[in-house]
Amino acid sequence: MHVGILGGTGPAGRGLGCRMAAAGIEVTIGSRDLARAEAVAAELVGSWPERSLPIRGSDNAGAAAADIVIVGTPWDSAVKTVQPLRDQLADKVVISMASALVRVGQQLQAITLGRGSVAATVQAALPASRITAAFHHLPAEDLSNLDEGLFADVLV
């Protein structure tokens, strides 16, 4: 299995990429900036040299070539990121993991988007893809630390 993570250089993308690669899944971290994606992939592989993690960096189009594609960008750039990849992502499973949150004072609050959720907004942008929503409630720092045990449910 090959998983691509669009905008995968952030904490959530890195963490998930690490965990999936540790499970033997081939992972492509995508970014608008190819050099940054390659640097992040090299950093993750270098962090766990004994594991030989199957992670590589690419632009977002390269990550979109994977069998399953995760949208790892902040919620407000999800649509902008997937739109140019619409044809490439047709008929694929695309996983939306972002939550629409805004800072109100000291707190982050959920806001309701016109279509209800980030996932539904991404589905509208990619009508020929199969959108699913997952990975919202995982602690990114713990994901990246492969020595840290993980016992979490993922609501899909």
Partner 1 sequence: MALIEAVEGLRPLDAGRLSQAQAIEAFTAVCIAVNIRYKARTYVRMGGI
Distance of alpha carbon 51 from alpha carbon 30, whole angstroms: 21
Distance of alpha carbon 108 from alpha carbon 96, whole angstroms: 19
Asked whether position 114 contacts partner 1 by CB under 8 A, the answer is no
* CA nearest neighbour of 14 among 29, 24, 1, 2: 29
Asked whether position 32 contacts partner 1 by CB under 8 A, the answer is no
What is the total residue count of the chain? Answer: 156
Asked whether position 73 contacts partner 1 by CB under 8 A, the answer is no
Shortest distance in whole angstroms from residue 131 CB to partner 1: 6
* CA nearest neighbour of 130 among 105, 155, 154, 96: 96
Between residues 37 and 138, which has the closer beta carbon with respect to partner 1? 138
Q: Which of 120, 125, 127, 128 binds partner 1 (CB under 8 A)?
A: 120
Distance of alpha carbon 69 from alpha carbon 137, whole angstroms: 19
Between residues 85 and 118, which has the closer beta carbon with respect to partner 1? 118
Binding site for partner 1 (CB under 8 A): 1, 3, 19-20, 22-25, 68, 96, 98-101, 106-110, 112, 116-120, 123, 131-134, 136-139, 141-142, 149-156
